[in-house]
């Protein structure tokens, strides 16, 4: 294939679309699938049962599809599925799943994974997610669509981060984050809403007003956090507020970051 540099190592069995480009000194394992217009810049290692969606570009020294960093992993078959049009920058690592976590790590479409960040085993990452330099997403996490993770931040295993939430730089997140939440400070305080993101997304002013009122009720209302969310669900007419309510009521057993 003319799009594969002669110094690249392509193991027998790899499925590479004719339009994909593999640069110098890349290593592509025998169970890898590269879809149309994928580009590996150079010195990229892709291994395991890994599928890379169309138009994704992977930059030098990324290691994609290696085994999980989990001592419970015993070599069972597991996968990494990466969607379309992602930008995976230098030194990024993304691991395959584990049997205990469902056997697959999934990354959606149109993401930006900046240099040095990590996506661990069994994580589920949505569309248009941005993970900034040297941030780490631990095993079994769920990042919904349009989430932004600031640089040097850490997301604890099993944490869910709702759609449109933003995590500030140098922040440790150990509990679930409601959709559109704004989290910052070293131990992850829920300080408000991602108003900038909402406005950039063209969300109607009426919905933003409803979200701000909902946040205040969650912060200062009576009863437990779940009680407040349940009352919100009974009262709201906003689909955006309903999204927060549904997220909270689908509690997986972990605690939520609550407004200060």
Catalytic residue numbers read: 121-122, 139
CB-based contact 145:130 (threshold 8 Å): no
Query: Partners of 106 in the beta sheet?
Result: 81, 124
Q: How far is it, in rounded angstroms, from Cα 39 to Cα 30?
A: 18
Coil, strand, or helix at residue 118?
strand
- For residue 254, what are its two tokens? 């972990």
Q: Nearest-CA neighbor of 143 among 192, 172, 177?
A: 177
Neighbouring residues of 65: CB distance < 8 A, sequence distance ≥ 6: 29, 32, 46, 47, 48, 49, 50, 80, 94, 95, 96
Coil, strand, or helix at residue 116?
coil
Quote the DSSP letter at residue 228.
H
Q: How far is it, in rounded angstroms, from Cα 127 to Cα 259?
A: 26
Q: Nearest-CA neighbor of 188 among 203, 166, 205?
A: 166
Query: Partners of 64 in the beta sheet?
Result: 46, 94
C-alpha distances (whole Å) from 199 to each of 169, 202, 205 are 21, 5, 8
């Amino acid at each position: 294939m003319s799009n594969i540099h002669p110094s690249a190592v392509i193991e027998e069995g790899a499925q590479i679309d004719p339009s994909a480009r593999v640069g110098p000194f890349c290593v592509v394992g025998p169970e890898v699938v590269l879809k149309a217009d994928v580009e590996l810049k150079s010195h990229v290692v892709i291994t395991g049962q890994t599928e890379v969606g169309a138009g994704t570009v992977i930059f030098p020294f990324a290691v994609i599809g290696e085994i999980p960093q989990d001592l419970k992993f015993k070599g069972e078959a597991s996968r990494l599925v990466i969607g379309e049009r992602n930008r995976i920058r230098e030194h990024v690592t993304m691991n395959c799943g584990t049997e205990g976590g469902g056997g697959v790590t999934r990354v959606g479409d149109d993401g930006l994974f900046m240099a040095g960040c990590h996506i661990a085993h069994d994580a589920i990452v949505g569309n248009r997610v941005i993970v900034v330099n040297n941030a780490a997403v631990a095993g079994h996490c769920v990042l919904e669509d349009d989430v932004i993770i600031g640089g040097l931040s850490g997301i604890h295993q099993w944490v869910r981060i709702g759609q449109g939430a933003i995590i500030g730089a140098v922040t440790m997140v150990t509990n679930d984050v409601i959709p559109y939440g704004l989290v910052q400070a070293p131990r992850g305080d829920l300080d408000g809403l991602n108003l900038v993101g909402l406005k950039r997304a063209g969300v109607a002013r009426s919905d933003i007003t409803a979200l701000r009122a909902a946040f205040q009720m969650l912060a200062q209302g009576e009863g437990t956090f779940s009680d407040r969310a349940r009352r919100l669900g009974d009262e709201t007419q906003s689909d955006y507020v309903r999204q927060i309510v549904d997220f909270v009521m689908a509690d997986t057993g972990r605690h939520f970051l609550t407004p200060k």
